[in-house]
Structure 1
Amino acid sequence: MLREYTKVFASVVGSQDRTRPVWVIDGYAGAGAYEEPDPEGAHPDGSPLIVLKMAEEFKSRQVIKSIFIESDTSAVEALDKNVTPFRDRGLSASILNGTVEEQMPSAWSAVGTNPVVTFLDPFGVAMRRETMTRLLLSRTRDLPPSEVLLNINLEAVWRIGGNLELSAGRVVPCKGQERGVERVDRFFGGTAWRQTFHDMRHEHGSAAQAAEHVIAVYRDQIRQDTGYDSMSIPVRRRPHHEPLFLLTLFFRHPVGGYKFADAACRATRKWRETYRKQELEEFLGRQRQESLFGDDFEMENAAKEGARQEQELDAQWVQNICDNIRNLGAHRLDVARDVSLILGHTLGLAGERHIRKAWDQLAEDGYLRPRDTSKKMHRSAMERA
């Protein structure tokens, strides 16, 4: 998702003025690559290398500058080694040693009024709300966009929320759990989330649902404070697992949300492909001694089965979008502004090509007017026939 959306952001914003650099800030950069290698012996890219490899693709048409913030000194040393080859090839990659609260003002000063997307993937809930509202989302509409991609740790919220109790009519931390709860207080900007979490958990019996509700309230409060809308994509370890994170984009212009939803579609498809590959490798590892046909045969069959599953999902999601549009019953839907309503529960799974197919299908059925194929989808509006 990080790669897909920063690539889109650089393409869209950079095309408006190629003389301006486009900035990417990574607030919790780490070492740049994971220390533990994958089964093939490679060290998987961390967010800094994902950003720099994306920036390298743009080098001939757009200047992309990066700032990486990391508080751990040993991680900074490893990060410097990991980004040096990119610097040697002419890319801009600055490293700031310190916390987000300490170093973000310096990063913001370097960015100036240029367009910027800030990626924040804190460990747990480590960032103050004021960093969002008073700095990162403080630009007025007449300035180039500043968007924030925040990975909200849903699991941390429900885990720490489980350390709350009702005492003398107030929701307070359990004894010994004060520090963890107070970190969440700073993230949400006060203690009101405690009562909300307690009430929702009591009503639904689910800490996960209570956490999702608390985060929805947080997003709405950010919108009221700053004017920025937001869109969340659930992040899971496996397709049928409960989400552990909500990767959330804060944006001003509806096209940002639309492009984010489409980027999520591409990213989650790649994720499913990776997941299938991992399952196949695990299967082959277990069955290698018993297989009559060999790995090549199994891999070819798996590729065919994966393609068949993707076709089924595509058809299912197009039908879901058709049903969403019919159920909305609106006479007009702005594709960019109303993309969350159009996609419904397929948000994060389906994207532009599915919306296009659904529109064409509904036009053929006589429910919608045919789309103007000369216009880009994010500039189009669906109208009832």
Structure 2
Amino acid sequence: MTRHEGFFQQRQPAAVLKHALLREYTKVFASTVGSQDRARPVWVIDGYAGAGAYEEPDPEGTHPDGSPLIVLKMAEGFQSKRVIKSIFIESDAAAVEALNQNVTAFRQRGLSASILHGTVEDQMPSAWASVGNDPVVTFLDPFGVAMLRDTMTGLLLSRSRDLPPSEVLLNINLEAVWRIGGNLQFVAGHVVPCPGQEGGVQRIDRFFGGTAWRQTFYDMRQEHGSAARAAEYVIENYREQIRQDTGYDSMSIPVRRRPHHEPLFLLTLFFRHPVGGYKFADAACRATRKWRETYRSQELVEFLGRQQQESLFGDSFEAETAAKDGERQEKELDAEWVQSICDNVRRINSSRLAVAPNVSLILGTTLGLAGERHIRSAWDKLAGEGYLRPRDTKKKMHYSSMERA
């Protein structure tokens, strides 16, 4: 193995984004709902937990954290302030054994880490019984598209509005939908699976709660000539149906392998209070920056791997140069996104615009990239131009409203 090959056996940038957003949002959730009633524990359920850490070590010889250790390290940071309890569900026996070993040290330090061996459908009712009416965020990252829709609508999103929040962070495998959807055909007036593809199509039927998605996918693919676009449209419908059934809004952050690639996943938060969506968008801003840093590191590794000999000034010089280029790019992106937000606010053209409920409109195409600091800068810029009244710097942004000057 060369000095560069090991990198590609580690987490790829898409996984880095997913885990960074999990870390950022669970931290925000625990801070926000925990401050409302410190006597109540805050729960985090990980429905497809795995072994807790990656099998392959990174270049420094450590094993990157999987979602359970990310959750536990987040919880450890709150240990002196409030109780955060974790439940991990995993169906594979070998993974459960490894997970037990990986969480032992956290348990010894006083953290709550329950492990349930079985499927999400079988074990989620038990997890839910443990949670009771406490605030909970559930992370679901199934392999492919494996979860029943009834688990979402009949259990995780079934709480009434007067109870503490239950939010769901669901990683929707967009690639699986467009790949399996490509195995549909139109026969005798019905959209049905191609021969031999029934199993995959039926798994997606269970996820979407029926077969209606087949016709939608088939029609949209015929119209746009793109399986990826058809899959996005199907998932948009799914999110709207969940909203109609449960009253929960949702926000999706695209997860790509590389910039300008088609999204592979849609990391989607289902929430009731607008502040949840606002905080998720801001958490995504920090997570996608981490993703860009990882992507740039990968580009550097690939560049060095292509060199037939050491570069003229050495790898450390190349790394330092890449870091400076990254800082420059980030400043350029910040300026670009602030201007885009300014344009969005002018386009909305409202005399009074509440920030949290309208964060998706305010961010527009920068959703998942820009966050609170960019909104703040855009507001200040528009106020300086005389378009908006200056913001109240003592008021939290998610409780603020932009007012025309």
TM-score, with structure 2 as normaliser: 0.93
* Number of equivalences: 385
Verify: 1:173 aligned to 2:193, yes or no: yes
Q: Which residue of 2 aligns with 1:40?
A: 60
Candidates 97, 114, 123, aligned match of 1:103: 123
Matches within 5 A, 1:333-372: 333-372=353-392
Q: Which one-letter code corresponds to 1:64 in the other structure?
A: I
Aligned with 1:11 (options 27, 31, 34): 31
Distance 2:62 2:183 in 1: 39
Could you say which residue in structure 1 is the equivalent of 2:269?
249
AA at the equivalent of 2:68: P
CA distance in 1, matches of 2:153, 2:209: 10
In structure 2, what is the equivalent of residue 23 of structure 1? 43
- The aligned counterpart of 2:69 is 49
Matches within 5 A, 1:92-131: 92-131=112-151
Structure-to-structure mapping, 1:201-350, within 5 angstroms: 201-287=221-307, 289-350=309-370
Deviation at 1:288, TM superposition (A): 7.4
1:69 aligns with: 89
Higher relative contact order (CA 8 A, sep 6+): 2
1-structure distance, mates of 2:320, 2:232 = 40
2:13 aligns with none
Secondary structure class of the residue paired with 2:35: helix
- Range moving further from structure 2, 279-288 or 371-380: 279-288
Distance 2:310 2:298 in 1: 19
Deviations 1:112-148 (A, max 9, x none): 1000000000111100000000100011111110000
Give, in whole Å, the separation in 1 of the partners of 2:52 and 2:362: 37
Q: What is the DSSP-based 3-state SS (H/G/I as helix, E as strand, rest coil) of the residue aligned with 1:11?
A: helix
- SS at 1:94's partner residue? strand
C-alpha separation between the residues in 2 aligned to 1:95 and 1:114? 19
Q: How big is each residue's C-alpha offset from its partner over 1:286-329, in whole Å with a ceiling of 9 and x where there is no partner?
A: 43724221222222221111110000000000000011111112
Shift in Å at residue 40 of structure 1? 3.4
User: What is the alpha-carbon root mean square deviation over aligned residues?
Assistant: 1.0
Distance 1:223 1:144 in 2: 18
Worse overlay, 32-41 or 281-290 = 281-290
Separation in 2, partners of 1:114, 1:345 = 35
Which residue of structure 1 aligns with residue 3 of structure 2? none
Instruction: Name 1:80's counterpart in structure 2.
Output: 100
Give distance in 2, aligned partners of 1:267 and 1:188.
Answer: 28
Distance in 1 (CA, whole Å) between partners of 2:67 and 2:137 is 13
Residue identity (%): 83
Q: Gaps spanning 5+ residues in structure 2: where?
A: 1-20
Shifted more, 301-310 versus 244-253: the winner is: 301-310
Residue deviations 1:83-128 (CA, integer Å, cap 9, x gap): 1111111100000001000000000000010000000001111000
- CA-CA distance at 1:357 after TM superposition: 0.5
TM-score (normalizing by structure 1): 0.98
- Corresponding residue of 1:383: 403
Per the TM alignment, residue 193 of structure 1 is displaced from its structure 2 partner at its CA by: 0.3
Name the CA distance, whole Å, in 2 between partners of 1:155 and 1:332: 40
Distance in 2 of aligned mates of 1:292 and 1:72: 49
Q: Tell me, what secondary structure is at the counterpart of 1:32?
A: coil
Task: Report the 3-state secondary structure (helix = DSSP H, G, I; strand = E; otherwise coil) of the residue aligned with 1:62.
Answer: coil
1:185 CA displacement: 0.5
1:153 aligns with 2:173: yes
CA distance in 2, matches of 1:211, 1:291: 44
Q: Secondary structure at the match of 1:23?
A: strand
**Which deviations, in whole Å up to 9, do the C-alpha atoms of 1:206-240 show, x marking residues without a partner?**
00000000000000000000000000000011122
1:16 aligned counterpart, secondary structure: coil
Q: Tell me by how many angstroms 1:45 deviates.
A: 1.1
Quick one: distance in 1 between partners of 2:130 and 2:303? 50
Q: Secondary structure at the match of 2:138?
A: strand
Q: Which residue of 1 aligns with 2:215?
A: 195
**1:59 is matched by which residue type in structure 2?**
Q
Q: CA deviation at 1:331?
A: 1.8
Residue aligned with 1:246, SS: strand
